[in-house]
Structure 1
Amino acid sequence: MYKCCRHHRPLKSKLLWKRMQRMIKHKLILIAVMALWGSLGIFVRSIPISSLLLAFSRAIIALPILMLGVKMSGQSLRQCFKKENIPLMISGALIGLAWVLFFAGFRLTSIANVTFIYNMCPIYVLILSPILLKEKISRFQLLTILIAFFGFILIIAQSIDFADAAFLGILAATLSGMLYALIVIINRKYASHLSGEAVAFVQLLFTLIVLLPFVIGSNAFTQFNEMNAFAWILLLVLGVFHTGLAYIGYFQSYKTCSASTVAQFTYLDPAFALLFGYFLANESLTLIQGLGGLLILGSTFITLFIKNEKKGVIYGT
């Protein structure tokens, strides 16, 4: 009996070590994903095409990679096109519009402003959940909503001129965050039968379908003529790494990390965005702007921690 126990100890230790290695690997992947998403503002400003064409290009480049991701997840593409996935197809249209607004925000106001305002998304989800998901809100959650909106007011108070580009950028980021809140709620309600990769594939396919008529109608493809080799490289990186591989890496992390751990890691995204904005775009934070951002990020962090988000919910971009 004693020999048997001794024999199994090394095996158990090896299994624990392998599990720990996988967890460390996926946490490092999560950090890389958040760094990529945090650098979006820099990339968006460096690619000389419209926000509409940029959103379309991002989706079309990422789609083949996500198709491979669906196969890796063990699901067939046929499962993606069933009748019950119609809400996900609709959310794909919302993603297209959310991306266009998100990119426009970066071009009209500071990276910090867009980052803080967009991260109101979990608060919007919390507000909409009782209406659309019949979930109850506690008094403490109501308090976090009020704190987040106070932070929101501090930020927009600096750009109160309605004709000012910065205010329009804040408005674009606000609408983008609201659209993402609707997408999160749709995913919660209708995406549980599919892998995260399959959900993203369906959504980006319909992002393409919805944006294509607007791209053709505005003759946006001619903008590609203005791009040099460096801009093309940035566009490919945006589609391949920031979107296709980042989404797959994000979903793969759920295999070893808990949903709450992944949700906590998403707060590296705004941290990286602020760092890139400071060092690469020469943007600095004002005291009021920083306080507003801290109130928003702090309250949304508490909200996500309490809610313990389900697997596959993306708050990143």
Structure 2
Amino acid sequence: MIPFFTANAPSLKMISAMALAGSIGIFVVESGETALTVVFYRCLIGGLALLIYCLFVNRNDFAQLTLRNILMMGLSGLTMAANWVMFFMAYSHASISMVTTVYHVYPFVLLFASAMIFSEKITARSIGWSICAFLGVVFVARGTGQGAEMSVAGLGLTMAAMICYAATLLITKHLAEVPASLLSLVQLLVGALALLPLAAVAGLRVDSDSWGLLLTIGVVHTGLLYVLLYGAVQSLETNRLAILSFLYPLTALIFDVAVYGVRPDWIQGTGIALITFAVLGEKLQFFRPSIGKSI
């Protein structure tokens, strides 16, 4: 059995990371804390956990901390924190699984943002997949499954979170030379620092029953998740990463069904299928030989 685990270690790390990502919504909801409070402590606790990891494992990475890199990483930390706040706020207006599924349309937001900002070309194939994905979003939002409804506010918050995440990715695209662990460390600590004044105004006191959940979110769902993710991304090919990344919304749906009794209807099921097919189609370049002309 040991050779099996050794040979498949990167895939197992990715599977574990996606399973953790899919379960975070349960911990956020069960904590009973506001999205702002959860994200502040996630950034603070997760940042400290990654700081310990970097000091003991990747100490040499700190040599990459130039002024330009720090400023760019700091900016991406702000957009990442805003992304998480709005993503968790959406849980109050829609089921965890529906928010997570719609959120996975972000590659197309990134695609069009890159076209507008950096004048990157968009293929007809990509536009076709974009239409398919956003049609899936409409289906998910229009469905009325048991506990799976998505309000206009929920859809708006999820879309805003996607835009912030796309902005984070666009910024980090220019930090390819910075190790991923160091980048995430700075993003988390900057996020905690930026949210501190807002969290202080809202009140930093946390219910005693919530501390265990917040510590788990920070250490396990942030620190450990990122370490597992780094190990997977560095070793897996792009196609496998694309496929395994969909364990995230799948796991979220399984937890939603098991814990909260959420039951998507056939309309939402169709929407989930359209989004999944569109994102995988774009990432894995389905039908590329037949439709590849740039416009």
Bin of the TM-score, shorter chain as denominator length: 0.7 to 0.9
**Equivalent of 1:211 in 177, 180, 195:** 195
Distance of aligned partners of 1:123 and 1:135 in 2 relative to their CA distance in 1, 3 Å threshold: same
Is 1:152 the equivalent of 2:137? yes
C-alpha distance in structure 1 between counterparts of 2:53 and 2:7, whole Å: 20
Is 1:270 the equivalent of 2:275? no
Alpha-carbon shift at residue 150 of structure 1 (Å):
1.0
C-alpha distance in structure 2 between counterparts of 1:87 and 1:259, whole Å: 25
**Equivalent of 2:24 in 20, 40, 55:** 40
Higher mean C-alpha deviation, range 87-96 or range 259-268:
259-268
CA contact (8 A) 1:89 1:202 kept: yes
C-alpha distance in structure 1 between counterparts of 2:140 and 2:238, whole Å: 30
CA RMSD of aligned residues (A): 2.2
C-alpha distance in structure 1 between counterparts of 2:118 and 2:282, whole Å: 16
Determine the structure 2 residue equivalent to 1:290: 269
C-alpha distance in structure 2 between counterparts of 1:294 and 1:75, whole Å: 44
Residues 2-42 of structure 1: per-residue CA shift (max 9 Å, x gap): xxxxxxxxxxxxxxx97x75441221121111111001221
C-alpha distance in structure 2 between counterparts of 1:213 and 1:234, whole Å: 22
Determine the structure 1 residue equivalent to 2:225: 246
Alpha-carbon shift at residue 107 of structure 1 (Å):
2.3
C-alpha distance in structure 2 between counterparts of 1:89 and 1:75, whole Å: 20
Determine the structure 1 residue equivalent to 2:170: 185
Query: What is the 5 A alignment of 1:91-130?
Result: 91-130=76-115
SS at match of 1:285: coil
Runs of 5+ in structure 1 lacking a partner? 1-16, 308-317
CA contact (8 A) 2:257 2:263 kept: yes
**Equivalent of 1:255 in 223, 234, 240:** 234
Q: Which has the larger radius of gyration?
A: 1
Question: Which TM-score applies when normalising by structure 2?
Answer: 0.88
How many residues get paired? 280
CA contact (8 A) 1:118 1:177 kept: yes
Residues 91-137 of structure 1: per-residue CA shift (max 9 Å, x gap): 10111111111111112211222012111111101111222333211
Residues 138-189 of structure 1: per-residue CA shift (max 9 Å, x gap): 1111100111111112223348xxxx9832122111111111111111111x
**Equivalent of 2:70 in 85, 96, 112:** 85
CA contact (8 A) 1:113 1:170 kept: no
Distance of aligned partners of 1:158 and 1:271 in 2 relative to their CA distance in 1, 3 Å threshold: closer
**Equivalent of 1:227 in 179, 188, 208:** 208
Alpha-carbon shift at residue 193 of structure 1 (Å):
0.9
Determine the structure 1 residue equivalent to 2:155: 170
**Equivalent of 2:178 in 194, 203, 216:** 194
**Equivalent of 1:59 in 28, 43, 64:** 43
Runs of 5+ in structure 2 lacking a partner? 287-295
Is 1:280 the equivalent of 2:280? no
CA contact (8 A) 2:17 2:228 kept: yes
